Chain A
Amino acid sequence: MTETNGKSLISLENLKVHFNLGGGGILDKLTGGSPVPRVVKAVDGVTFDIKAGETLGLVGESGCGKSTLGKALLRLTPITSGKVFYNGKDLANSSEKEMREQRKHLQMIFQDPYASLNPRMTVGNIIGEPIRTFGLSDGGSVERKVQDLMETVGMSRRFIKRYPHEFSGGQRQRIGIARALAVDPEFIVADEPISALDVSIQAQIMNLMEDLQTQKNLTYLFISHDLRAIRHVADRVAVMYLGKIVELAGAKDIYAEPLMPYTKALISAVPVPDPEIESKRERIILTGDVPSPINPPTGCRFHTRCPFAIEDCKRIEPELVEIKPKHYAACIRISPENPYIEENV
């Protein structure tokens, strides 16, 4: 984990990404389709900053909108409303051409190293493509630069002519990282970069990403459903539920003292590799699944599964409030005066 100088590299202001599923038209009414428009509110009003040099962890269950948020940051999915500032420049309202220029600084690492590399391209071409596209070889040969990158991510430069299928999952993820690094970016969205990998390889990739961060002063948005991994790599953690950030705090604080019932449940659900602890611990088992993001629950979206929900939770949509210093949570049952929900019952 690196020192942050407190300057925001990325800021989101009320970012929304909605997907229209149709419905609500004349034909829908006549044919018995959905009489109201059906809209997936994948990201529904997210505001936060990512500071230069830090790793912000983003956790949540599948379908909560975390990947969509990551893509929207890089404009890889259309933004419905809101702003995304990178170094003070609003990406949400930039033209395609300006955006292309910015992608030199903003890169992404994908979850599935099997699907995110073109099987018909050699490693050299995969990593070399962004260098050629942006003309970044600085007069030297592209191949030379590719080989340097391969070494940076811990691969032998001899493999430059090989194809993705000749590599294991971990090696492929290294290729994906090298490709992202090829343009010398400042900011990388890593979307579940270790989920598809074996346990012993996960540690290698996490360490590699941390080393690169220190060497190249990178800023990461690290998206994962694995709370153990997030805890290890992140400086701060944002917890997402059905399109909204429900808690945001320093990594240590959020694990030591989660304030939101949802965060508590998430953390308590993670099995600990220690039979002594496992045999004693009491889990908070959430009932039911994540509700559908199409027409999500009113009020607090978590109220359908929350053990502490009261009538008001169904009506009032909670705001993200600074409950403790630099520790934000969105819950109407807690406040800076009464931060602990159990005591407010």
Chain B
Amino acid sequence: MNEKNGTILSVNDLKTYFQTEDGVVKAVDGITFELKRGETLGIVGESGSGKSVTNLSVMRLIPEPPGKIVNGDIIFDGVDVRKLSIEEVRKIRGKRMAMIFQDPMTSLNPYLKISTQLMEVTQLHLGHSKQQAYEHAVEMLRTVGIPAPENRIDNYPHEFSGGMRQRVMIAMALSCQPELLIADEPTTALDVTIQAQILELIKDLKKDLGTSVILITHDLGVVAGMTENIIVMYAGKVFESAPTKELFATPANPYTKGLLKSVPDPAHEEGKPLYQIPGLPPDVAHLPPGCPFAERCERAEDICEREFPPFVQINENHHSLCHFAKEVYAESINQGSTIS
């Protein structure tokens, strides 16, 4: 491990495009962010915003063709992942950076015992013998809270519930004590009570192992309690990036504001209709020349449809992609002070 507060991952102007019959889809189009060691970064966005593709790019898991990382640096602990050969990437992936996927039903092999799937990781990356790997696998299952792991380890995935399968996925991802864990919608397929268990588990493991985490989700509630920083993505772009508290308290982008307002909030309702962002997320294959959110934005003016907005710096850690970022930010500050 390097110095404690260094940067574990920095992504700079990443562009990942897909060649489709419909033309080039710019799934990720110039994403920049940084993750410090031991921190959790939330990536929030709706379907098609490019949040998963960003992280698949980091893991070098983009199917090529049709996809291709066309630009940018992905610096993981000082090394540009883009410049590594596939062999070299494999040595890092699963060992130093690992990923948990949304659907624990489809990401485990139904034909293999849990033990086989867990042992494979440490035999490959840590050179464990069969015996060592087996013992390690039992320990990992215990760590993620599977009761009586000795008895369960030789079960098949279908004998586990959804929440338990997600625990197995986490055990597998954490087997080699990775420095970076990417969790892509880890709780979306789970019940709220199980979601609470899994989030608590990720929090505890992060504390104990010092893992840095990227948490991808569409649920603003999930990132609120889990992350230090958040980036909000829309149409392949970072629309806003800020420390978590600041983003919720004083958003500087109309899209973020809309998302925050459209979550049913017990404190400010009573029979009022829910705030809704009009329209649909854009077709990423045919983006307008101006701001991709302009046609849904209640604040949009002529310039928004003509010109692509600048990425405005609000303060040291807070940026927003909007022609009126400063004004929106000022409004948020005023609204905040009138409520509290």
Give the interface of A toward B (CB within 8 A): 1, 61-62, 168-171, 198-204, 206-207, 210-211, 225, 227-229, 231-232, 255, 265-266, 268-279, 283, 285-290
Bound-state CA distance A309–B169 (Å) is: 32
- Best-surrounded residue of A169, A203, A204, A287 (most CB of chain B within 10 A): A203
Tell me whether B221 and A271 are in contact (CB under 8 A). Answer: yes
- A247: min CB distance to chain B, Å: 15
Bound-state CA distance A241–B161 (Å) is: 17
Tell me whether A275 and B266 are in contact (CB under 8 A). Answer: no
Tell me whether A168 and B280 are in contact (CB under 8 A). Answer: yes
The contact string, 1 if C-beta is below 8 Å from chain A, for chain B 248-287, is: 1000000000111011111001010111111011000000
Bound-state CA distance A255–B147 (Å) is: 32
B83 at the interface (CB under 8 A from A): no
Tell me whether B224 and A198 are in contact (CB under 8 A). Answer: no
**Which residue of B is nearest A195, CB measured?**
B188
Q: For A290, list chain B residues within 8 Å (CB).
A: 161, 191
Bound-state CA distance A240–B194 (Å) is: 16
**Which residue of B is nearest A228, CB measured?**
B264
- Best-surrounded residue of B271, B273, B274 (most CB of chain A within 10 A): B274
Q: For A203, list chain B residues within 8 Å (CB).
A: 262, 274-277
Tell me whether A272 and B245 are in contact (CB under 8 A). Answer: no
Bound-state CA distance A275–B37 (Å) is: 21
Tell me whether B194 and A232 are in contact (CB under 8 A). Answer: no
- 23 CB < 8 A contacts A-B: A1-B271, A61-B192, A168-B280, A170-B280, A198-B47, A199-B220, A199-B263, A200-B258, A200-B277, A202-B262, A204-B278, A206-B274, A268-B196, A270-B192, A271-B199, A271-B221, A278-B225, A279-B225, A283-B196, A285-B193, A285-B200, A287-B197, A289-B164
Q: For B259, list chain A residues within 8 Å (CB).
A: 199-200
B46 at the interface (CB under 8 A from A): yes
Bound-state CA distance A288–B147 (Å) is: 9
Bound-state CA distance A288–B167 (Å) is: 12
B122 at the interface (CB under 8 A from A): no
Q: For B263, list chain A residues within 8 Å (CB).
A: 199, 228, 273
Bound-state CA distance A1–B277 (Å) is: 21
Partner of A273, one of B191, B195, B260, B269: B260
Bound-state CA distance A277–B259 (Å) is: 18
**Which residue of A is nearest B147, CB measured?**
A288
Bound-state CA distance A31–B72 (Å) is: 63
Partner of A200, one of B193, B222, B248, B276: B276
The contact string, 1 if C-beta is below 8 Å from chain A, for chain B 147-172, is: 10000000000000111100000000
Bound-state CA distance A272–B266 (Å) is: 10
Tell me whether B262 and A200 are in contact (CB under 8 A). Answer: yes
Closest 6 CB pairs of A and B: A278-B225, A271-B221, A232-B264, A269-B196, A203-B276, A273-B220
Bound-state CA distance A211–B274 (Å) is: 11
Q: For A255, list chain B residues within 8 Å (CB).
A: 266
Contacts A203-B277, A232-B269, A289-B164: A271 and B193 contacting too (C-beta < 8 A)?
Answer: no
Tell me whether B225 and A271 are in contact (CB under 8 A). Answer: yes
Bound-state CA distance A277–B278 (Å) is: 29
- A338: min CB distance to chain B, Å: 26
- B324: min CB distance to chain A, Å: 20
B218 at the interface (CB under 8 A from A): yes
Tell me whether A274 and B193 are in contact (CB under 8 A). Answer: no
Tell me whether B266 and A231 are in contact (CB under 8 A). Answer: yes
Bound-state CA distance A159–B265 (Å) is: 34
Bound-state CA distance A102–B324 (Å) is: 55
Tell me whether A207 and B196 are in contact (CB under 8 A). Answer: no
Q: For A288, list chain B residues within 8 Å (CB).
A: 147
Q: For A276, list chain B residues within 8 Å (CB).
A: 245, 248
Contacts A271-B224, A274-B248: A200 and B281 contacting too (C-beta < 8 A)?
Answer: yes
**Which residue of B is nearest A206, CB measured?**
B274
Bound-state CA distance A198–B219 (Å) is: 10
B117 at the interface (CB under 8 A from A): no
Bound-state CA distance A225–B269 (Å) is: 20
Q: For B47, list chain A residues within 8 Å (CB).
A: 169, 198
Bound-state CA distance A275–B219 (Å) is: 13
B244 at the interface (CB under 8 A from A): yes
Bound-state CA distance A298–B218 (Å) is: 39
